[in-house]
Amino acid sequence: MDGELSHRPALESEDGEPTVRSVRSDDGTLSYAEYGDPDGVPVCFLHGTPGSRLLGGLFDETARAAGVRVLAPDRPGYGRSTPRPARTLGDAGRAVAAVLDDADVARAGLVGFSGGGPHALAAAATRGERVRRVDVVAGAVPPQIRSSPPLTLRALETLVRRAPSLSRGLLRAQAELARRGPPSLVTAQYTSDAAGDELPADVAELVRRDFVEAFARHRGGFVTETRLLADSWDLPFDELDAPVRLWHGDRDANVSLEGARRLAERLPDAELAVLDGADHLRSLLRGRSSIVERHASEGA
């Protein structure tokens, strides 16, 4: 089999949801879904914090048309993947490699959104032989270079550190509200009125379902990950050989554009694409077609 492509068909369950595949190891289960073209150029999509494999569905139609196969894992403690409270950012490379092995893929592109951005960079830095290129969309940045994080983020980080059990209870309640309420309860966390255009209803509903699925079985994944991203990342960025493109909206209120600029300056081979008028979520929506096309052309 070709090292770049797999011809293993992506399956759908009877309700139209992508079939979940599972990789089992001594660390537990790592689950992922597939989107796009099952015979296409492989790309691994890493969801936000919180999030799940379902967010990969935003790429399905575009990836299918462009000939790109999207592998979208649940990180440990989200969706159907087993929690790993002791995991580190450096472990992201091992998780990505496990998914690629299971999918019969030698090398793939990486796309990380929001909290998935650091995990994409970590995977490229520690398992560079498996990574073709990296795209980070509205990605979180190391705490030492971020500027004026939102008050809600600072409050969350404090709560997670001082009262993790209380954090889990609040997350359970928030997930239940999201399950019963309108999508706007979730999308408001990632969007800004200043960005203008209204989100398509199907996109808003997918984002709501992604949020609910993130907490459907566990709450510890978010607690673990919030601590990880708030601490010093301690990643060997100087060993990152894959080219990186950062995509960031100038109206992103979750992660400042200035933080993205500073991160781009620290990476060996990085460029920054500024998306005018885009907030956190719209950075992903605005950038996805260009991202998919780049991976399709460079992986062909």
CA angle 224, 226, 232 (to 5 degrees): 100
Q: What pLDDT does 232 receive?
A: 87
pLDDT, one tens digit per residue, over 268-300 is 999 999 999 999 999 999 999 999 999 999 876
Alpha-carbon distance 174 to 185, whole Å? 9
* 199 domain-assigned: yes
* 80 domain-assigned: yes
* 159 domain-assigned: yes
The residue segments making up the domain with residue 129 are 21-299
Report how many domains make up the chain: 1
CATH code of 55's domain: 3.40.50.1820
* β-strands 270-275, 68-73 pairing: unpaired
Quick one: which of 123, 117, 122 has its CA closest to 140? 117
* 84 domain-assigned: yes
> 10-residue block means of pLDDT along the chain (300 residues)?
34 64 91 97 98 98 98 97 94 97 98 98 97 98 80 71 73 83 93 76 96 91 90 88 97 94 96 97 98 89
Question: In 67-192, at which residue ranges do the beta strands (DSSP E only) sit?
Answer: 68-73, 108-113, 131-137
* 16 domain-assigned: no
* 205 domain-assigned: yes
Cα dist from 93 to 39, 131, 146, whole Å: 24, 10, 24
CA angle 288, 291, 296 (to 5 degrees): 125
pLDDT, one tens digit per residue, over 226-284 is 899 988 898 888 889 999 999 999 999 999 999 999 999 999 999 999 999 999 999 99
